[in-house]
Amino acid sequence: MLSSVVVFHAPRNEGAAAFAAQLGRELERAGVKATIAEAWADPPEQALDEAGLVACIGGDGTVLRAARIIVPRTIPLLGINMGRLGFLTDMSPRDCFQRVERIVAEDWRIEERIMVRCDVLDPAGRQTLAHGLNDIVVSRSSPGRPIYVDVRIDGARLANYRCDGIIVATPTGSTGYSLSAGGPIMAPTEHHLVMTPVSAHLALARSLVLQPESTVELQVTSDSGAIVSIDGQEEMPVSNGVRVTVRQSEHVTRFVRFKEPHTFYSDLAERIDTQLSSAMSPGA
């Protein structure tokens, strides 16, 4: 039985905050301690250490943020969609209230998704480590000015890309930025990373699906600066000579699921169609 839950909600979303409070009250009535927090505020570390579940109320951005906050804990994560697409969420607010008893009883299945890790090493020897659920992106920081990225995979040189950026995505992230840059859609529980160049000039412009144990080394050269982005939410500037090493993370995100896994492709198609219809509707 569940004893403690942390409920994260999207910032600047009154509906998500109100629903978080309502869900907290429902859980408390069922004997579950509930801690409510804004996803981008300082994490409630002690509550997370005690939690048996993290519930995320909002869109995919809230889920991505929570997945990084949880590391290195192995707490399962439940996404409740109050955003636009909800690729990473499992249910609507109405579904959530209908399943409170099952949530409290931990009557669910767990779906593990791999994460991606990057180690940023500057010429002075300073190292920065980050983990993401969607992707690591090395990209230009100034519009109209490409960067040069020397790419090695498993120690062997692939190419020196003149490009807008290089994306290294997980299967989860394959439906995000990587997809818009021409990358393939991968089944979410796969264990491969995919590397996708963005607007590559005179170089191999196709995506590469990597072996699970592969390591990608990216060395950046740019007169106008570059950035490393984690899940499109955290950025760090990088200068000439910085080496970014990307590999599969030792951590995973453990999603709570009530739907069967075979619904992924139909759900994906439905959400993409919904997004396209919204974008093409008058006044969109």
Residues acting as catalytic residues: 60
Contact by Cβ (8 Å): 228, 238: yes
3-state helix, strand, coil in the chain (%, to 5): 25, 40, 35
C-alpha R_g of the chain: 20
* Other beta carbons less than 10 A from residue 3's beta carbon: 12
CA dihedral for 187, 189, 194, 199, sign (positive or negative) = positive
How far apart CA 166 and CA 183 sit, in angstroms, is 11
The number of angstroms, rounded, from the C-alpha of 134 to the middle of its chain's C-alpha atoms is: 3
Which has the closest alpha carbon to 243: 119, 158, 107, 130? Answer: 119
Q: 3-state class of 217 per DSSP? A: strand
